[in-house]
């Protein structure tokens, strides 16, 4: 009756490595009054986890040294002392990187819907935080409207690929992706249906963006920050909206980045640059999920999950997000037996 | 019957100097059908003029080599072939840096109101573009609301000083200025009634901002850009609004600036950074002018004009904005006889 857990051993500099985390064994937690015991099945691997490992101000406090790595995930209820959860329910919430977790007032989980014909990895991807982020980032923060020219960085990624597909479905004039390498760029166009995809590893991204959208960018959805964001800034149209969703290029940067040089374009073009965290829209998640589930079920939303098997490989899975070694939404399978009916 | 004009001789690198402009003499323009001839009395010297001298994309095209320097100003109508203007009217518009200008369909002027007991320099300052910029920047772009903590850079300047006073009048919790040197900082507190003023020339502005507003900045009104903007970004409160009004530190920078390193704070704190140009609010100018005139007339809006006499000194007057040698709104008096009744 043990609970394998991955804890933060020391704060990483750059990429996560063997010295960053420890695999520890502790007794399986008890299920107290008002609580349920959840067997963890799958973990959502998100870039934000890397930011929580730094001792820096964020939207949540840093993970403490010795604490289990914070993460969302899903599992199955095996024991329950509350009417809120029934044994057999598949639930989503903050599982953290471990095999067992207690759900209760202190750590609430939501029960995932069954009977939609969607498997757990798909739900974790498109109906999870990743897809919801794409939806509210584009529609609410980006104030997307029909006829907009939309540019998305991290376009082959779980969030970026959904952003572009929603924009296409809702009548964007043109949707341009930015991704790393010819293989990912091809995927963005062929699999996700973007009009075009620019490889940021090639030179002079700013000029190529200008060629791709000579009248400027109306909505730029940024997942990466840094030089790519700066290149987009230099190409914004009047009244452009820049959605800051993430800054993956900065999260494990070893040195102080060069910084953005083109923010005065926000004055020249009356642009708006706004950051958000999907949790801000927590009371409206169902709205996005309805839309996204509809698109998946009618086949207009292509998606892809990158499954890594074994809790012990979660740190490597996190690194994939920064090396670009993943294809689609990265998930760690902790227990294969946990499935959505 | 000559018209002295100042033209752009070559594009400046850094500050404007003797080689940048030429003082030329041309025949006084003729007053054609539908036009009025205006004798220029006063010029508004604004940082944006410096941006128009660069061969760079902006919200208006660059000034051409050999063209008269673009500038707003006021003058008196001396001859009119249109019912729109009556000789004796004092009018405001794009006078450019010269002694005579033709008003007409191609270059419209507005007739300034008389009988309010406000002199021409005051009207050019508070009721002019400078004050209107402060009003809409704070209220519309900054979405100021009672109880906000407001920080203003360029606080001793024409726009910044008005921003802080409007915020105080409308119930800001705290208004903090940023200015250069102890003399200006004292002026910001004593003359303009800010709660506090930080000298950016002293070290560690970011830490001092944190001490001044430990719960963070709700509205940051930026006139300067660069490192000061970056220091403010590192101290924003949740849902902060950053108003990009100008970036005077960048306009005549000799080298590529370091760039902003703290924009990921916009994600962490769900902040919004938005640029604007006052011309975007052209159809609502009267709204701001009513408010500002009321404040001047009831004595709640302190203001100060820095008068430089002589058209030929306009280039030096422009430099004052960048060296900090001015106190209040910088105006060049071209003809002392032009006055508001």
Per-residue HEC secondary structure of chain A comes to: CEEEEEEECCCCCCCCCCCCEEEEEEECCCCCCCCEEEEEEEEECCCHHHHHCCCCCCCCCCCCCCCECCCCEEEEEEEECCCCCCCCCEEEECCCCECEEEEECCECCEECCCCCCCCHHHHHHCCCHHHHHHHHHHHHHCCCCCCCEEEEECCCCHHHHHHHHHHHHCCCCEEEEEECCHHHHHHHHHCCCCCEEEECCCCCHHHHHHHHCCCCEEEEEECCCHHHHHHHHCCEEEEEEEEECCCHHHHCCCCCCCCECCCCHHHHCCCEEEECCHHHHHHHHHHHHHHHHHHHHCCCCCCCEEEEECHHHHHHHHHHHHHCCCCCEEEEECCCCCCCC
- Say if CB B63 and CB B311 are below 8 A apart: no
Q: What is the pLDDT of residue B78?
A: 98
Task: Give the mean pLDDT of B226-240.
Answer: 96
Query: Which residue in A264, A270, A276 is closest to B247 by CB distance?
Result: A264
Written as six digits, the tokens of A135 are: 């939806």
Q: Please give the distance of CA A58 from its chain centroid, rounded to a whole number.
A: 16
- Which of these, B215, B160, B198, lies nearest to B327 by C-alpha position? B160
Is pLDDT of B115 > 90? no
Written as six digits, the tokens of A330 are: 């990265």
Query: Which residue in A257, A267, A268 is closest to B261 by CB distance?
Result: A257
A258–B277 C-beta distance less than 8 A: no
Mean pLDDT of chain B: 94
- Say if CB A310 and CB A304 are below 8 A apart: no
Q: Count A/B contacts: CB-CB distance under 8 Å.
A: 106
Determine the residue among B244, B250, B253, B269 to mutate to test chain A binding: the one whose Cβ has the most chain A Cβ atoms within 10 Å.
B244
Pairing of strands A236-244, A272-275: parallel
Q: Please give the distance of CA A140 from its chain centroid, rounded to a whole number.
A: 17
Partners of A91 in the β-ladder: A75, A111
Written as six digits, the tokens of A239 are: 């009244």
**B interface with A, Cβ–Cβ below 8 Å:** 57-59, 225, 229-230, 244-247, 250, 256-261, 263-277, 280
Neighboring chain B residues of A256 at a CB cutoff of 8 Å: 261
Of the listed ranges A242-246, B38-42, B320-324, the one predicted with least confidence? B320-324
Q: What is the pLDDT of residue A254?
A: 67
- Say if CB B160 and CB B138 are below 8 A apart: no
For the CA atoms of A296, A46, A74, A66, the dihedral, rounded to the nearest 10 degrees, stands at 180
pTM of the shown model: 0.89
Q: What is the pLDDT of residue B117?
A: 86
DSSP state of B98: B
pLDDT tens track for A65-103: 999 999 999 999 999 999 999 999 999 999 999 999 999
A273–B274 C-beta distance less than 8 A: yes
B261–A267 C-beta distance less than 8 A: no
Give the model's confidence band at B254: pLDDT under 50 very low, under 70 low, under 90 confident, else very high: low
Written as six digits, the tokens of B275 are: 């640029």
Partners of A274 in the β-ladder: A243, B272
Neighboring chain A residues of B59 at a CB cutoff of 8 Å: 267-269
Instruction: Give how far B285 is from chain A: nearest CA, Å.
Output: 18
Query: Which residue in B230, B261, B276 is closest to A270 by CB distance?
Result: B276
A267–B247 C-beta distance less than 8 A: yes
Task: Give the mean pLDDT of A193-220.
Answer: 97
Q: What is the pLDDT of residue B170?
A: 96
Reduced to 3 states (helix: H, G, I; strand: E, B; else coil), residue B66 is coil
| Dist CA B286 CA B283 (whole Å) | 8
Q: What is the pLDDT of residue B146?
A: 98
Query: Position of tokens 């029960």?
Result: A111
Taking CA atoms, B35 is separated from B25, B39, B69, B99, B204, in Å, by 22, 13, 21, 17, 55
Written as six digits, the tokens of A325 are: 């070694």
Q: What is the pLDDT of residue A213?
A: 97
Q: What is the pLDDT of residue B79?
A: 97
Written as six digits, the tokens of A165 are: 């597909």
DSSP state of B113: P
- Say if CB A45 and CB A331 are below 8 A apart: yes
Is pLDDT of B252 > 80? no
A244–B264 C-beta distance less than 8 A: yes
DSSP output for B80-92: ESSTT--TT-EEE
Written as six digits, the tokens of A59 are: 């939207």
B267–A277 C-beta distance less than 8 A: yes
Burial per residue of A193-211, b for 16 or more beta-carbon CB atoms within 10 angstroms, e otherwise? bbbbbbbbeeeebeebbbe
Instruction: Give how far A129 is from chain B: nearest CA, Å.
Output: 16
A256–B259 C-beta distance less than 8 A: no
Residue B77, CB-side half-sphere exposure with 13 Å CA sphere: 25
Is pLDDT of A248 > 90? no
Q: Quick one: angle between helices A158-169 and A129-136, nearest 10?
A: 40
Reduced to 3 states (helix: H, G, I; strand: E, B; else coil), residue B65 is coil
Determine the residue among A56, A234, A273 to mutate to test chain B binding: the one whose Cβ has the most chain B Cβ atoms within 10 Å.
A273
Is pLDDT of B279 > 90? no
The residues, ordered by sequence, that sit 6+ positions from B38 with a Cβ below 8 Å of its Cβ are B75, B76, B77, B78, B91, B95, B100, B101, B102, B103, B109
Instruction: Give how far B181 is from chain A: nearest CA, Å.
Output: 25
pLDDT tens track for A252-279: 766 667 789 999 999 999 999 999 999 8
Task: Give the mean pLDDT of A40-52.
Answer: 95
- Say if CB B40 and CB B98 are below 8 A apart: yes
pLDDT tens track for A134-147: 999 999 999 999 99
Written as six digits, the tokens of B198 are: 């930080």
Neighboring chain A residues of B270 at a CB cutoff of 8 Å: 274-277, 280
Neighboring chain A residues of B274 at a CB cutoff of 8 Å: 266, 270-273
Is pLDDT of A150 > 80? yes
Neighboring chain A residues of B62 at a CB cutoff of 8 Å: none
* Domains contained in chain A, CATH given: 2-125+304-333 (3.90.180.10), 129-279 (3.40.50.720)
Give the model's confidence band at B128: pLDDT under 50 very low, under 70 low, under 90 confident, else very high: confident
Phi, psi of A274 (to 5 degrees): -140, 135
ipTM: 0.84
- Say if CB B231 and CB B206 are below 8 A apart: yes
Query: Which residue in A261, A264, A275 is closest to B266 by CB distance?
Result: A275
A264–B225 C-beta distance less than 8 A: yes
The residues, ordered by sequence, that sit 6+ positions from B300 with a Cβ below 8 Å of its Cβ are B165, B169
Neighboring chain A residues of B143 at a CB cutoff of 8 Å: none
Is pLDDT of B222 > 80? yes
Task: Give the mean pLDDT of A116-140.
Answer: 93
A266–B275 C-beta distance less than 8 A: yes
Q: Give the full edge-to-edge strand order of the sheet including B272-275.
A: A196-199, A174-179, A149-153, A217-222, A236-244, A272-275, B272-275, B236-244, B217-222, B149-153, B174-179, B196-199
A230–B267 C-beta distance less than 8 A: no
Phi, psi of B316 (to 5 degrees): -65, -40
């Amino acid at each position: 009756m043990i609970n394998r857990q991955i804890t933060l051993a020391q704060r990483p500099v750059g990429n996560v490595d063997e010295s960053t985390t420890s695999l520890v064994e502790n007794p399986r937690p008890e299920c107290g009054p008002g609580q349920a015991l959840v067997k963890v099945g799958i973990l959502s691997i998100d870039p934000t986890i890397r930011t929580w490992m730094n001792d820096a101000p964020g939207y949540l406090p840093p993970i403490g040294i010795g604490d289990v790595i914070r993460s969302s995930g899903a599992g199955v209820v095996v024991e329950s002392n509350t009417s809120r959860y029934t044994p057999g329910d598949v639930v989503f919430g903050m599982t953290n990187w471990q095999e067992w977790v207690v759900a209760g007032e202190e750590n609430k989980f939501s029960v995932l819907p069954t009977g939609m014909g969607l498997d757990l990895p798909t739900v974790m991807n498109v109906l999870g935080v990743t897809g919801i982020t794409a939806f509210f980032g584009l529609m609410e923060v980006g104030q997307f409207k029909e006829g907009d020219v939309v540019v998305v960085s991290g376009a082959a990624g779980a969030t970026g690929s959904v952003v572009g597909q929603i924009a296409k479905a809702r009548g964007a004039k043109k949707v341009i992706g930015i991704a790393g390498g010819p293989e990912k760029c091809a995927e963005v166009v062929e699999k996700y249906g973007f009009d075009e995809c620019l490889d940021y590893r090639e030179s002079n991204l700013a000029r190529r963006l200008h060629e791709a959208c000579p009248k400027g960018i109306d909505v730029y959805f940024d997942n990466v920050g840094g030089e790519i964001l700066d290149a987009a800034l230099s190409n914004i149209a009047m009244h452009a909206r820049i959605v800051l969703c993430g800054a993956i290029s900065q999260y494990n940067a070893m040195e102080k980045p060069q910084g953005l040089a083109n923010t005065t374009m926000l004055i020249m073009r009356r642009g708006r640059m706004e950051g958000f965290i999907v949790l801000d829209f927590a009371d409206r998640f169902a709205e996005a999920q309805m839309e996204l589930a509809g698109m998946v079920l009618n086949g207009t939303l292509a998606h892809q999950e990158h499954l890594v098997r074994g809790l012990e490989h979660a740190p490597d899975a996190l690194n994939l997000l920064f090396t670009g070694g993943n294809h689609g939404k990265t998930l760690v399978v902790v227990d294969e037996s946990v499935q959505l009916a």
